[in-house]
Structure 1
Amino acid sequence: MFLEALIIGIIIGYILKGSLKNFEDIKLKALYLAVGAFFVEFILFSLVRRGILSRGYLTTLIYIIEYALIFLFIYLNRENKYILIMGFGFLLNALAIFSNGGAMPVSAKAAVAAGLAPSIDAVRASSEGLYVVQNEGTRLCFLGDIIPKTYLRHYVISIGDIIAAIGFMMFIIQGMKGKKTN
């Protein structure tokens, strides 16, 4: 979703006569925290996909570290309204994940609508192991992956994903326009 937000943001930025060179003027504090958080997520998902780790206390601890890095980056850059919007999206995702034992709940109905399974009965938790199919015990299910996405790539997204992607796209557009993004 962030790659799409990046591409759309760049296209809109150019339409509005912006330039990527204007990003030289953007001052972000501790960008390494955000990069580190996404690196931690990449490692976590890689280990789970390969069967080296399975969901449990260790994966939840790693998620806590990832989100701590993200939220520290957001706090340090809190004067930037678009970073705050991204942070709100990440917060919504964190609430869904941590209230459900360290796994993002996924709507079976949305998974079918996205073409990920032939029927609701056929929906199973992802091979990544960090997702669970929503059921009657799911907490904050409306914050889980409930929106089917069928263009470019088929998957299910959350309200938090959309809000974070909008914040990222707006950050790109404003950065390209060369205006302060505060």
Structure 2
Amino acid sequence: MYIEAILLGVIIGLARNGRLSNFFEVRFKGWGLSILAFLLFLVPYGLKLFDITYEKLQIFPFAAMVICGVIALLNFEKNGMKILLVGILLNLIAMGLNDFRMPMDTVKMANLGFNSFVESMKNGDVINYIPLTDAQGFSKYLGKIIALPNAYPFAKVLSIGDFIVSLGIVFIIQYEMLLSSLKSRGSMIQFTYNSRLRK
């Protein structure tokens, strides 16, 4: 879903006469933390690779998401970051209430053809998800319960937080693509205005 959100953001940005190069010129605060988040997400796989056992492996993906929330908070003034942060917080709440694991509707996952993934969940091989039936309290409403249509090429089960995060990504990309262009136009207008005053 996040890849689709990125592509949609780029398409909307281009349709609004924005430039992709403008987005790459944007300086996000705390961007280096994203590297740490990525490494934390990979920690469980690295530990399993070296046969290192740890009871709470799921805390590493949770910590990675917390860092993503921190990055969104550091860039709170940017358009779309508030939406992104809300989505992240909803996912964090769902995971925090379930021992740092995200509840997932295994029936809907199986209907979409992810039977092997569901079996891996039941066997405990998937560390950061639990069946929706094991979710605590209202967290079951924040879990991955929304199934995309089978006709969709990348059909999967998403949470409300996932949708909000994706919406935030779309807003951020298309706005930053356009914002840099608007700043450039504003500078040109100001330069022209000042030049006329001097004459």
Equivalent of 1:105 in 79, 103, 106: 103
CA distance in 2, matches of 1:55, 1:159: 30
Deviation string, structure 1 residues 135-181 (Cα, Å, up to 9, x no partner): 1653310111111134222321111011001100111111111358x
Counterpart Cα distance in 1 of 2:165 and 2:53 = 27
3-state SS of 2:6 partner: helix
Q: In the TM superposition, what are the counterparts of 1:57-76 in structure 2 within 5 Å?
A: 57-60=56-59, 62-76=60-74
> Shift of the alpha carbon at 1:86?
0.8
Q: Which residue identity does 2:142 align to in structure 1?
A: L
- 1:26-60 CA-to-partner distances (Å, cap 9, x unmatched) read 3321111134313422x045347759467832432
Gaps of 5+ in 1: none
- Cross-structure match for 1:89: 87
* 2:98 alignment partner AA: N
Deviation of 1:15 (Å): 1.6
Please state how far the C-alpha of 1:104 moved relative to its aligned partner: 0.9
3-state DSSP of counterpart to 2:80: helix
1:25 Cα shift?
5.1
* Contact 1:55–1:102 (Cα < 8 Å) also in 2: no
**Aligned-residue RMSD, C-alpha:** 2.8
* Structure with the largest fraction of helix: 2
Larger Rg: 2
Unmatched segments (≥5 aa) in structure 2: 183-199
Alignment check: 8 A CA contact 1:113 1:148 kept: no
- State the identity as a percent: 26
Deviates more, 1:101-110 or 1:50-59: 50-59
Q: 2:194 is matched with which residue?
A: none
Label 1:56 to 1:142 Cα distance change in 2 as closer, same or farther (>3 A): farther
Q: Counterparts of 1:49 and 1:173 in 2: how far apart (Å)?
A: 39
The reply to whether residue 131 of structure 1 matches residue 132 of structure 2 is: no
- Matched positions, count: 175
Q: 1:54 to 1:2 in 2, by over 3 A?
A: farther
The 1:24/1:101 distance shift into structure 2, 3 A limit, reads closer
Q: Partners in 2 of 1:45 and 1:133 — Cα distance?
A: 20
